[in-house]
Structures are given as C-alpha cells and as structure tokens.
Amino acid sequence: MRADVILMKCPETKRTYGVRIEECRGDWLRTWAFPMDEKRAVREGYNKTKITGDFSASEDFNGCPYCGSKDFVFCGRCGKLSCWNKEERITCGWCGITGDITTTTEKINVKSGGDV
C-alpha cells in the first residue's frame, strides 16, 4: 500500500499538522493526523508533496490535532488544505485568503506546503 503525508493548516490556531494518507483503490484516504513541527516538515520534504485524490476521511480518522475538524477546505489560490469547521466564511490557513475557497468532492490537486 502506498502512503504519504500531506500538510494541512489549522486556521484557528495557525498551526501546521501532518496528515497521513493511504492509497485505496486509486484514491487517497486520510487516515491519521498528527502535530507537525514546520521545520521537520521541510526537512522531510513533506512540503513538496503533490497528490491528486479526493482525500476522504477514513472511518477512524482522528481529525485535526488542534481543533478536531475532520473536514477541510481546498484553497483555489494556493492549492493547499485547511481545516473546515463548517463556517460560511472561510479562511485559508496558508495564504490567508477569505471566502474564495471551495469545498468539493471532485478530485483535487493538492500542493502540500511550500512556505510553511
């Protein structure tokens, strides 16, 4: 089984965390989230991950280590993922853009990180 780690941001706490993803029938499932030191993320190359998938949560996905969210928003501007707690007005934890974020069930191209 292929597995990788993508980075997500928690906009409420402005902290970064890693999400372990596993390939499952040609798609990617989010299986585990854990606090991630940003320096370590860069050192391990997690900030360079680029993966296409729909990133559904697995049944036992534990959610964001800071706010507990199991949902995410995909930022159309920077291509990264942030926690989503069902707010109507949403903020990208990476680039700070508000509003212009789409939630989708389509496959998305995630860029994990960059400037963390």
Of the pair 16, 69, the CB lying nearest Zn ion is at 69
Give, as one character, the DSSP assignment of residue 46. G
Q: Output the CA–CA distances (angstroms, integers) from residue 78 to 25, 38, 56, 112, in the order listed.
A: 27, 18, 20, 10
Phi/psi at 41 (5° precision): -60, -40
What minimum distance in Å lies between the beta carbon of 93 and Zn ion?
8
Which letter, b or e, does each residue of 2-41 get, where b requires 16 or more Cβ atoms within 10 Å of its Cβ?
Answer: eebbbbbbbbbeebbbbbbbeeeeeebbbbbbeebeeeeb
10 in contact with Zn ion (CB under 5 A): yes
Compute the least distance from the CB of residue 78 to Zn ion, in Å: 3
In the complex, minimum distance from the CB of residue 85 to Zn ion, in angstroms, rounded to a whole number? 7
Q: With CB under 5 A as the contact rule, which of the stretches 27-35, 36-44, 61-69, 105-113 interacts with Zn ion?
A: 61-69
Closest approach of Zn ion to the CB of residue 3, in Å: 22
- Work out whether 91 is an interface residue with Zn ion (CB under 5 A): no
The contact set with Zn ion (CB under 5 A) reads 10, 64, 66-67, 69, 75, 77-78, 83, 92, 94-95
